[in-house]
Chain A
Amino acid sequence: MLRTASSPPDAARPRRRRDPATRVPWPVVALASLGVLLFALPLLGLLQRAAWSDLWSDLSAPAARDALRLSIECSLWATLLSVVLGVPLAWVLARGEFPGRALLRALVLLPLVLPPVVGGVALLYAFGRNNGLVGPWLYDTFGVQLTFSKTGVILAETFVAMPFLVLTVEGGLRAIDTRYEDAAATLGAGRWTVFRRVTLRFLAPSLAAGAALAWARALGEFGATITFAGNIAGRTQTTPLAVYLLLETDPGPAVAMSLVLLAVSVVVLVALRDHLFRGRR
């Protein structure tokens, strides 16, 4: 058959055949689908249970309002503390050369895999007023009691959240081409100027990502908080604790607060997608 000049250029191109290597076998597809359901069904359940029209009033209920306010306040302090302590720690891990560095890294990352309740118990026996390692001394010397206080919530949240920041910032520090810092040094910049004007600039995306991850983790903290700081409404009852407690008696605000926590997680995930999934499609 003769092709005419008017035939569209696409018609001449043979249909592309798919590379067999990219075709996924059906058992894999089936199991993967079950896996997706495991994630998707609970989300659907939560969303269909939400009383959208009452969302605002549910969130303004005193119990919910106090819990949300406390959560935001404590999680922000925990994030700040994670940055102030975590960036130097990441620096030591990324650039220090000393025996036992691997051990130190394992210690810092332990809270990532440690059951939070165990973390809470451990915090109790370190900072508890009566039976802690340094708790009694803190109380006698400074009159500071960490257990069952807002400071205790911040400490528990920092304990579980900081590893996320340390891990992210350490990766960021390792990725920096240190020759830029050398270049700044030859241009008369002292160590602080080099850090402020060069290192920190290169580190900014990792630092932001690490802080966001730490904040999201602190916001959702449950186990360590309830074990170490207790569950005192208006003082140590953060949002996850309030959700758990209200679910039996007053599910409306509990679901509303769950949606808030879900929304925060989604926002953090979307904001960090470039950072977390770099190099993937």
Chain B
Amino acid sequence: MSLECTFTAGIGTLDLTVDLTVGDEIVAVLGPNGAGKTTLLRAVAGLHPIDTGRIAVDGAVLDEPASDVLVAPADRPIGVVFQDYLLFPFLTARENVAFGLRSRGIGKAEARRRADQWLDRVGLADRADARPGELSGGQAQRVALARAVVGDPRVLLLDEPLAALDARARSEIRRELRRHLTAAGGARVLVTHDPVDASVLADRVVVLEAGAVVQQGTMQEIALHPRSPYVADLVGLNLYRGTAAAGVVTLDGGGRIVVADRAVAGEVFASVHPRSVGLHAEAPAGSARNHFAGTVAEVDALGDRVRVRIEGTVAIVAEITSAAARELGLAPGRAVVASVKATEVGIYPA
């Protein structure tokens, strides 16, 4: 089973370019708002025609402008769980799940039987007669999932399946969704702006930014080697881009970082974990090879730790204990020097 999409599509000022193949796996498309995530799903579902390229499922072309093929959404072997679930408010949970079967010409009794079967599978057998307005967010999500998969689609698309839920219910429902998604099989693509959703739910993550795929891999790989400020920010790393030569990275934004690996050369990313950044009142005479002078821009308490954002030629975020922050008298506007050991700088090709 596979979904192949290689296409461009435009909407508003966004130009979306996608080259993605999804096999029998769960892929998360991770990206900020307005990156084109929903447009990607809509194009695959047939709700937004692509401009160039091709979308195919198991080799059968669904959309290909060059050969004038465009299969209607109703005729695609694709199930969709929409953002906000979009359960029909005037139908019961059972009727919602049976909707797709009925519109594909399956008899009333058979559709009802299969809808009940799926409601039972997602643990909602007792809620079959409830209207969507009477369901909790988590229940509505499971009905939406049952509605999307009841027709045995070969591709399952989920648009922000957890965004509509409050934080308290989220982690429980996330685990539950993971279980159902794993059981569903086939090509499963979910769109999210939450890295936790992506790492818990997906086997593989594709990062989409401003309409383009900037990175893909497992969430661990991505977190270890972010390739954009957005991803670095998501996983809480300091990220710099520059040119490496003889153990020194000259940063694109000004300044330089000394690194341990002298062999790496050319365009690179350099990452620094906030916990490996030391802060000092004035430049220390220690082993750290990197000293960045700057001023404190922001101080954020995180329990017994403090995250300090420092502005300067090399902007950096440091994480130190609150006791240390007190001793240094850290407050916005205070001049400090940040130190980083060369061995603490991660470096990888851009």
Instruction: Assess whether B88 is in contact with A180, with CB atoms less than 8 Å apart.
Output: yes
Q: Smallest Cβ distance from A93 to chain B, in angstroms?
A: 23
Which interface residue of B42, B74, B84, B90 has the most chain A CB atoms within 10 A?
A: B74
Name the residue of chain B whose CB is nearest to the CB of A193: B103
Kindly state the separation between the CA atoms of A201 and B90 in the bound complex, as whole angstroms. Answer: 8
B104 interface contact, C-beta 8 A: yes
Q: Mark A173-191, 1 if CB is under 8 A from B, else 0.
A: 0000101101111111110
Q: Smallest Cβ distance from B162 to chain A, in angstroms?
A: 18
Which interface residue of A179, A185, A190, A197 has the most chain B CB atoms within 10 A?
A: A185
Kindly state the separation between the CA atoms of A185 and B80 in the bound complex, as whole angstroms. Answer: 10
Kindly state the separation between the CA atoms of A188 and B82 in the bound complex, as whole angstroms. Answer: 15
A109 interface contact, C-beta 8 A: no
Q: Smallest Cβ distance from A1 to chain B, in angstroms?
A: 48
Q: Which of B38-83 contact A (CB under 8 A)?
A: 42, 45-47, 72-76, 78-80, 82
Instruction: Assess whether A190 is in contact with B74, with CB atoms less than 8 Å apart.
Output: yes
Q: Mark A201-212, 1 if CB is under 8 A from B, else 0.
A: 100000000000
Kindly state the separation between the CA atoms of A97 and B151 in the bound complex, as whole angstroms. Answer: 34
A180-B86, A183-B82, A201-B88 given; A188·B103 CB < 8 A: yes
Contact of B103 among A177, A180, A197, A201 (CB under 8 A): A197
Kindly state the separation between the CA atoms of A220 and B13 in the bound complex, as whole angstroms. Answer: 51
A198 interface contact, C-beta 8 A: yes
Instruction: Assess whether B74 is in contact with A186, with CB atoms less than 8 Å apart.
Output: yes
Kindly state the separation between the CA atoms of A179 and B144 in the bound complex, as whole angstroms. Answer: 14
Instruction: Assess whether A186 is in contact with B88, with CB atoms less than 8 Å apart.
Output: no
Q: Smallest Cβ distance from B346 to chain A, in angstroms?
A: 42
Kindly state the separation between the CA atoms of A177 and B148 in the bound complex, as whole angstroms. Answer: 19
| B151 neighbours in A (Cβ, 8 Å) | 187-188
Q: How many B residues, CB 8 Å from partner?
A: 24
Instruction: Assess whether A184 is in contact with B80, with CB atoms less than 8 Å apart.
Output: no
Instruction: Assess whether A189 is in contact with B74, with CB atoms less than 8 Å apart.
Output: yes
A180-B88, A198-B88, A201-B90 given; A185·B74 CB < 8 A: yes
Q: Smallest Cβ distance from A112 to chain B, in angstroms?
A: 31
A193-B103, A197-B103 given; A188·B74 CB < 8 A: yes
| B148 neighbours in A (Cβ, 8 Å) | 186
| A183 neighbours in B (Cβ, 8 Å) | 80, 82, 86, 88
Instruction: Assess whether A186 is in contact with B99, with CB atoms less than 8 Å apart.
Output: no
B273 interface contact, C-beta 8 A: no
Contact of B80 among A180, A186, A197 (CB under 8 A): A186
Instruction: Assess whether B47 is in contact with A184, with CB atoms less than 8 Å apart.
Output: no
Instruction: Assess whether A185 is in contact with B88, with CB atoms less than 8 Å apart.
Output: no
B138 interface contact, C-beta 8 A: no
Q: Which of A159-181 contact B (CB under 8 A)?
A: 177, 179-180
Instruction: Assess whether A179 is in contact with B104, with CB atoms less than 8 Å apart.
Output: no
| B103 neighbours in A (Cβ, 8 Å) | 184, 187-190, 193, 197
B211 interface contact, C-beta 8 A: no
Kindly state the separation between the CA atoms of A189 and B100 in the bound complex, as whole angstroms. Answer: 7
| B78 neighbours in A (Cβ, 8 Å) | 186
Q: Smallest Cβ distance from B170 to chain A, in angstroms?
A: 23
B147 interface contact, C-beta 8 A: yes
Name the residue of chain A whose CB is nearest to the CB of B90: A201
Instruction: Assess whether A179 is in contact with B74, with CB atoms less than 8 Å apart.
Output: no
Which interface residue of A179, A188, A201 has the most chain B CB atoms within 10 A?
A: A188
Q: Smallest Cβ distance from A94 to chain B, in angstroms?
A: 19
Kindly state the separation between the CA atoms of A266 and B47 in the bound complex, as whole angstroms. Answer: 45
Kindly state the separation between the CA atoms of A188 and B150 in the bound complex, as whole angstroms. Answer: 12
| B84 neighbours in A (Cβ, 8 Å) | 179
Kindly state the separation between the CA atoms of A186 and B82 in the bound complex, as whole angstroms. Answer: 10
Q: Which of A193-243 contact B (CB under 8 A)?
A: 193, 197-198, 201
Instruction: Assess whether A187 is in contact with B82, with CB atoms less than 8 Å apart.
Output: no
Kindly state the separation between the CA atoms of A197 and B90 in the bound complex, as whole angstroms. Answer: 10
Contact of B82 among A179, A189, A190, A198 (CB under 8 A): A179
Name the residue of chain A whose CB is nearest to the CB of B47: A182
| A179 neighbours in B (Cβ, 8 Å) | 82, 84, 86
Instruction: Assess whether B47 is in contact with A185, with CB atoms less than 8 Å apart.
Output: yes
Q: Smallest Cβ distance from B131 to chain A, in angstroms?
A: 13
Q: Smallest Cβ distance from B207 to chain A, in angstroms?
A: 25
| A184 neighbours in B (Cβ, 8 Å) | 88, 99, 103
Can you pick out 21 interface pairs between chain A and chain B where the beta carbons lie within 8 Å of each other? Answer: A180-B86, A180-B88, A182-B47, A182-B86, A184-B88, A184-B99, A185-B73, A185-B74, A186-B45, A186-B47, A186-B79, A187-B74, A187-B103, A187-B151, A188-B103, A188-B104, A189-B99, A189-B103, A197-B103, A198-B88, A201-B88
Footprint of B on A, CB under 8 Å? 177, 179-180, 182-190, 193, 197-198, 201
Task: Give 9 A-B pairs besides A182-B47, A188-B151, A189-B103 with Cβ atoms closer than 8 angstroms.
Answer: A179-B86, A182-B42, A182-B45, A182-B82, A182-B86, A186-B45, A186-B76, A197-B99, A197-B103
Footprint of A on B, CB under 8 Å? 42, 45-47, 72-76, 78-80, 82, 84, 86, 88, 90, 99-100, 103-104, 147-148, 151
The 6 A-B pairs of least Cβ separation, nearest first, read: A187-B100, A189-B103, A185-B73, A188-B104, A183-B86, A186-B80
